[in-house]
């Protein structure tokens, strides 16, 4: 009776048709790669945002002999330019604190006045800004580190976009592996499938059995891949914590990581079902 029940539960012999260990291992490897890619995407996106924030405030104007009249004249010019979103004078006390580690006490030094700028458009040429300020305040110097930092941020965003292409490639490869495994499985159980087909089993029923088996194996492989990725993330956090104390588990892309096993299951289910339906429709 137990043997008959087992046969009714798995009449095609899918446990032998689909090599569970191999498919689980392959899907786990793909899930690991996807998880690392998602983590890299998150990290690069955060880094780009930080660089962008720094780029917006990395343009400064130095005013030698910073009398009130000269500072007011420079501010009037800067705040009148549409390319500049904000212009603020840096507090001299703050400047002294910033310079203290290198110059010590700077109380008696003739420090220039410093104005921090936030650009409305990072594509603005800082040379033009410097020329306008220098016309009104002779000797004014404009330094723009934000342009370079902004380009780094743009490069980081471009790299972040390529990680999405990597994820798409991982999904495509995973689907291809499932199709290959299913084709091998149906070739091994061809006679059983033919018998069921002749006995009246519908194409959807047969395809559904293969699809559910593939989806289960993919979900298990995806979970194992995520577990391996978390171990790698833990090692990275442990290594980086002395240098980046704010780095922690809360920064990981948990929704994306949780979605990977589900996506693996859906991809496997869809690929297996489509592959079996195509094969069955070619039968005489």
| pLDDT tens profile 151-166 | 666 777 778 788 888 9
Q: Contact at 8 Å (CB) between 39 and 255?
A: no
> Does 140 lie in the same domain as 166?
no
> Does 163 lie in the same domain as 48?
yes
Beta strands in the chain (DSSP E): 59-63, 84-89, 113-119, 141-144
Q: Which residue has the tokens 């592959």?
A: 275
> Does 165 lie in the same domain as 45?
yes
- Give residue 15's pLDDT band: very low, low, confident or very high (50, 70, 90): low
Residue where a domain stops, chosen among 90, 117, 144: 144
Predicted confidence at residue 232, as pLDDT, reads: 92
Let me know if residue 110 belongs to a domain: yes
pTM of the model: 0.63
Let me know if residue 149 belongs to a domain: no
| The residue count for the chain | 284
> Does 187 lie in the same domain as 48?
yes
Predicted confidence at residue 175, as pLDDT, reads: 92
Residue where a domain stops, chosen among 109, 144, 179: 144
Tokens matching residue 89: 């004078």
- The answer, yes or no, to whether residue 2 has pLDDT greater than 60, is no
152 by Cβ neighbours in 10 Å (0-12 / 13-18 / 19+) ranks as middle
Let me know if residue 151 belongs to a domain: no
| Residue 114 φ then ψ, to 5° | -125, 130
CATH number at residue 139: 3.30.70
Domain total in the chain: 2
Range of the domain at 230: 2-52+159-281
> Does 275 lie in the same domain as 167?
yes
> Does 222 lie in the same domain as 182?
yes
| pLDDT tens profile 188-210 | 777 777 777 777 778 888 888 88
């Amino acid at each position: 009776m137990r043997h008959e029940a087992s046969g009714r539960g798995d009449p095609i012999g899918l446990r032998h048709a689909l090599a569970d260990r191999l498919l689980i291992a392959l899907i786990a490897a793909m899930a690991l790669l996807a998880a690392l890619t998602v983590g890299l995407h998150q990290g690069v996106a955060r880094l780009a945002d930080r660089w962008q924030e720094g780029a917006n405030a990395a343009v400064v104007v130095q005013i030698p002999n910073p009398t009130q009249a000269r500072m007011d004249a420079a501010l009037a010019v800067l705040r009148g330019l549409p390319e500049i979103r904000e212009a603020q004078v840096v507090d001299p006390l703050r400047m002294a604190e910033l310079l203290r580690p290198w110059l010590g006490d700077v109380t008696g030094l003739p420090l220039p006045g410093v104005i921090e700028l936030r650009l409305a458009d990072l594509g603005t040429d800082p040379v033009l800004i410097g020329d306008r300020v220098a016309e009104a305040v002779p000797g004014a110097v404009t330094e723009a580190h934000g342009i370079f930092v902004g380009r780094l941020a743009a490069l980081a965003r471009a790299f972040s976009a390529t990680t999405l292409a990597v994820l798409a490639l991982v999904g495509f490869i995973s689907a291809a592996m499932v199709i290959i495994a299913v084709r091998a499985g149906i070739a091994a159980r061809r006679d059983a499938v033919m018998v069921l087909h002749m006995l009246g089993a519908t194409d959807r029923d047969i395809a559904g059995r293969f699809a559910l088996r593939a989806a289960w194996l993919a979900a298990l492989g995806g979970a194992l891949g995520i577990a391996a990725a978390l171990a790698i993330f833990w090692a990275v956090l442990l290594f980086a914590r002395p240098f980046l104390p704010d780095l922690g588990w809360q920064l990981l892309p948990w929704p994306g990581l949780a979605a990977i096993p589900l996506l693996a299951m859906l991809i496997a289910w869809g690929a297996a079902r489509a592959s079996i339906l195509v094969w069955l429709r070619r039968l005489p």
